């Protein structure tokens, strides 16, 4: 679901996936202008409710971009975080909406009621109040250049998230945002977060960007982008710096535990860990915050490049192994039927580069599932071919005519009646004439023949049983024990389904004959 897009705002177009650092209106350890000049930051987010309180006290200029000294896009949150933290705020949906427009916010959020970690009855109340505030806000705003964000609440109550997303999608919002994930992310509860994102994304218009509030750590950026999030914000870069924590793309390290910096950003290339530890606290916090921002923006660029190359899945697989609970969330996402349906429907049918398959998890790639589905639903073997010659898929790069010439004479009938297919992981069954179709020949696999034994047996057996054109099936194997076992298991499955069919298994000297 990852995509690169342009969001047009009152202060220029910004590219998504988009990371928005949270900016405090009073204490800025790294200035927004610095973020733009040093890190090419396109957009930031700040809290409109705190600005409203300053406006009441006459300490705010009413020009948001001038106040923050930032000429890029600025998004404002409405105060929901304060509601979540403190239980109340002194404003309403109409007032905060008008205020956000008045100060020149480029992207403004409805005053939603965060669900947090509560029971179903209370969660339902937060959803209905959020939807009511959404309607009030759209009636209040003057349809200026401000882009309006429709929040989706419901927390871990997935049916409520779905309901809120469906109702919000009927309203004239430019962007949607998933609320209440911070409680989960603080406790590394990534699996329920995946469910929430999928529930929201599947019930929102695809053409509208989806923002994820509080997506704190770069190690999870690639996963949430793959799930369909286009934008996300975080204050973690600053909060981590305040507690002497050093971000990497795969985790966090305490400054006291660092011997060498695994980074070459402007901070890490000038200072050693000892140098950083010796700085006075405020300067150390600033340097750590700058480094943490570098890591976040570097990861966004890495994600965009992966999307461009068609390698986002590989990046997600790599990052998922950063933390056991993140890995569990990833495996849940690729195995859950609803998420799988969303991935299958929206994954491109071809990509710039081939795909890598590492283990059983890789077999859940949408490209693999799509191929197996199309093989079953759309494919018919060539007419007049009554001999099915099945070769190990590791031979697929070898000229078939060379293989045929190396076989015993009695193994073949007339060449014109032979249909060559390849068997084995990751694609189970590959007809010779489809080898040029993405992703069959544009893939590289580290899978052992026994990795997906049941899948290969089921696909091969089902294929032969479905297509009644063959009178004889010959399996060749390399002599290796795992390939021999796979060939015999597939042959046994065919015999059970098609008892009248002649099936034999042979060890071929093809490898020796071709110098393999």
Q: What is the dihedral of CA 226, 232, 235, 237, to 10 degrees?
A: 40
pLDDT-derived band of residue 468, with 50, 70 and 90 as boundaries? confident
> Could you check whether the bond before residue 17 is cis, i.e. omega within 30 degrees of 0?
yes
Pick from 281, 309, 337: which residue ends a domain? 309
The mean per-residue pLDDT over the stretch 362-371 comes to 90
Looking at the fold, whether 205 and 251 belong to one and the same domain comes out as: no
Residue 72 domain flag: yes
Bin 141: left if φ > 0, else alpha if -120 < ψ < 50, else beta. beta
- Structure confidence at residue 346 (pLDDT): 86
Looking up tokens 């949607």 gives 176
Looking at the fold, whether 215 and 270 belong to one and the same domain comes out as: no
Residue 373 vs residues 111, 278, 313, 354: alpha-carbon distances, Å: 44, 60, 20, 19
Give the percent of the chain with pLDDT over 90: 58
pLDDT per residue over 311-356, tens digit each? 999 999 999 998 998 999 999 888 888 888 888 888 888 888 888 9
Looking at the fold, whether 38 and 173 belong to one and the same domain comes out as: yes
The mean per-residue pLDDT over the stretch 107-129 comes to 91
Q: Is the pLDDT of residue 308 over 90?
A: yes
Residue 443 domain flag: yes
pLDDT-derived band of residue 514, with 50, 70 and 90 as boundaries? very low
Looking at the fold, whether 22 and 146 belong to one and the same domain comes out as: yes
Pick from 280, 309, 338: which residue ends a domain? 309
Mean pLDDT score across all residues of the chain: 88
Burial 163-197 (b: 16+ CB within 10 A, else e): bbbebbbeeebbbbbbbbbbbbbeebbbbbbbbbb
Cα–Cα distance between 323 and 416 in angstroms, integer? 54
Q: Is the pLDDT of residue 129 over 80?
A: yes
Residue 401 domain flag: yes
pLDDT per residue over 132-167, tens digit each? 999 999 999 876 789 999 999 998 899 999 999 999
pLDDT-derived band of residue 42, with 50, 70 and 90 as boundaries? very high
Domain total of the chain: 3
Contact 76, 51 (CB under 8 A): yes
The mean per-residue pLDDT over the stretch 31-39 comes to 94
Residues 329-332: contacts with CB under 8 Å, at least 24 apart: 329/190, 329/191, 329/193, 329/194, 329/223, 330/194, 330/223, 330/361, 331/361, 332/191, 332/194, 332/195
Looking at the fold, whether 220 and 280 belong to one and the same domain comes out as: no
- Structure confidence at residue 515 (pLDDT): 37
The mean per-residue pLDDT over the stretch 438-454 comes to 85
Q: Let me know if 159 is a catalytic residue.
A: no
Contact 491, 473 (CB under 8 A): yes
Q: Is the pLDDT of residue 360 over 60?
A: yes
Q: Which of 55, 77, 244, 275 is catalytic?
A: 77
Residue 116 domain flag: yes
- Structure confidence at residue 416 (pLDDT): 60
Structural tokens at position 197: 């994102």
Q: What is the DSSP string of 119-183?
A: -HHHHHHHHHHHHHHHHHHHHH----SPEEEEEE--TT-HHHHHHHHHHHHTS--SEEEE---HH
- Structure confidence at residue 512 (pLDDT): 44
pLDDT-derived band of residue 412, with 50, 70 and 90 as boundaries? very low
Residue 403 vs residues 381, 390, 414, 419: alpha-carbon distances, Å: 20, 11, 15, 13
Residue 158 domain flag: yes
Looking at the fold, whether 151 and 111 belong to one and the same domain comes out as: yes
Looking at the fold, whether 46 and 191 belong to one and the same domain comes out as: yes
Q: Is the pLDDT of residue 397 over 80?
A: no
Residue 356 domain flag: no
Looking at the fold, whether 169 and 21 belong to one and the same domain comes out as: yes
* Stated pTM of the model: 0.88
- Structure confidence at residue 58 (pLDDT): 64
Q: Is the pLDDT of residue 411 over 50?
A: no
Q: Residue 308: how many CA atoms within 13 Å on its side-chain side?
A: 9
Looking at the fold, whether 82 and 214 belong to one and the same domain comes out as: yes
pLDDT-derived band of residue 179, with 50, 70 and 90 as boundaries? confident
| Residue 8, phi then psi, degrees to nearest 5 | -90, 120
Q: At what angle do helices 32-39 and 281-309 cross, to 10 degrees?
A: 50
The mean per-residue pLDDT over the stretch 296-318 comes to 94
Cα–Cα distance between 138 and 136 in angstroms, integer? 6
- Structure confidence at residue 510 (pLDDT): 52
Range of the domain at 179: 1-234
Interacting residues of 5 by C-beta distance below 8 A, sequence separation 6+: 15, 16, 209, 230
Domain containing 504 — which CATH number? 3.40.50
Contact 387, 474 (CB under 8 A): yes
Q: What is the DSSP string of 469-489?
A: T-SEEEEEE-S-HHHHHHHHH
Looking at the fold, whether 263 and 389 belong to one and the same domain comes out as: no
- Structure confidence at residue 351 (pLDDT): 84
Pick from 309, 324, 349: which residue ends a domain? 309
Residue 358 domain flag: no
Nearest CA to 339 among 158, 208, 186, 120? 158
- Structure confidence at residue 215 (pLDDT): 84
């Amino acid at each position: 679901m990852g995509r690169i897009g342009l969001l047009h705002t009152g202060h220029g177009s910004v590219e998504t996936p988009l990371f928005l650092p949270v900016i405090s209106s009073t204490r800025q350890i790294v200035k927004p202008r610095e973020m733009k000049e040093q890190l090419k930051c396109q957009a930031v987010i700040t809290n409109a409710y705190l600005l409203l309180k300053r406006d009441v006290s006459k300490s705010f200029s009413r020009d948001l971009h001038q106040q923050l000294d930032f000429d890029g896009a600025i998004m404002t949150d409405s105060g929901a975080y304060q509601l979540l933290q403190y239980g109340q705020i002194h404003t309403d949906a109409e007032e905060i909406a008008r205020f956000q427009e008045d100060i020149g916010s480029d992207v403004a959020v409805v005053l939603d009621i965060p669900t947090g970690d509560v029971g179903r009855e209370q969660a339902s109340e937060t959803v209905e109040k959020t939807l009511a505030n959404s309607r009030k806000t759209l009636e209040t705003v003057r349809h200026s250049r401000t882009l309006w964000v429709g929040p989706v609440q419901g927390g871990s109550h997935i049916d409520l998230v779905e309901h809120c997303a469906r109702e919000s999608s009927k309203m004239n919002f430019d962007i949607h945002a998933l609320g209440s994930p911070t409680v989960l992310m603080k406790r590394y509860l990534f699996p329920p977060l995946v469910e929430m994102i999928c529930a929201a994304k599947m019930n929102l218009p695809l053409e509208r960007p989806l923002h994820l509030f509080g997506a704190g750590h770069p190690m999870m950026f690639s996963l949430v982008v793959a799930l369909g999030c286009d934008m996300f914000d975080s204050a973690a870069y600053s909060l981590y710096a305040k507690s002497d924590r050093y971000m990497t793309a795969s985790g966090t390290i305490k400054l006291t535990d660092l011997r060498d910096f695994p980074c070459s950003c402007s901070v890490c290339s000038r200072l050693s860990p000892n140098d950083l530890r010796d700085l006075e606290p405020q300067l150390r916090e600033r340097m750590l915050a700058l480094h943490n921002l570098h890591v976040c923006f570097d990861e966004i660029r890495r994600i965009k490049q992966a999307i461009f190359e068609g390698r986002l899945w590989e990046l997600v697989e790599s990052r998922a192994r950063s933390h056991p609970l993140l890995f569990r969330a990833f495996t849940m996402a690729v195995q859950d039927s609803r998420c799988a349906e969303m991935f299958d429907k929206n994954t491109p049918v071809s990509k710039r580069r081939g795909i890598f398959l590492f283990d059983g998890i890789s077999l859940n790639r949408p490209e693999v599932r799509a191929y197996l589905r199309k093989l079953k639903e759309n494919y018919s073997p060539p007419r007049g071919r009554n001999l099915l010659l099945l070769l190990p898929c590791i031979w697929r790069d070898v000229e078939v005519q060379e293989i045929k010439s190396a076989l015993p004479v009695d193994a073949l009938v007339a060449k014109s009646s032979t249909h060559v297919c390849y068997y084995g992981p990751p694609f189970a069954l590959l007809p010779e004439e489809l080898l040029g179709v993405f992703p069959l020949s544009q893939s590289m696999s580290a899978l052992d023949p026994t990795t997906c034994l049941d899948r290969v047996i089921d696909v091969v057996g089902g294929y032969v049983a479905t297509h009644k054109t063959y009178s004889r099936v010959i399996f060749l194997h390399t002599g290796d024990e795992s390939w021999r076992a796979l060939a015999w298991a597939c042959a046994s499955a065919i015999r059970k389904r098609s008892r009248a069919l002649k099936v034999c298994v042979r060890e071929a000297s093809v490898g020796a004959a071709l110098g393999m």
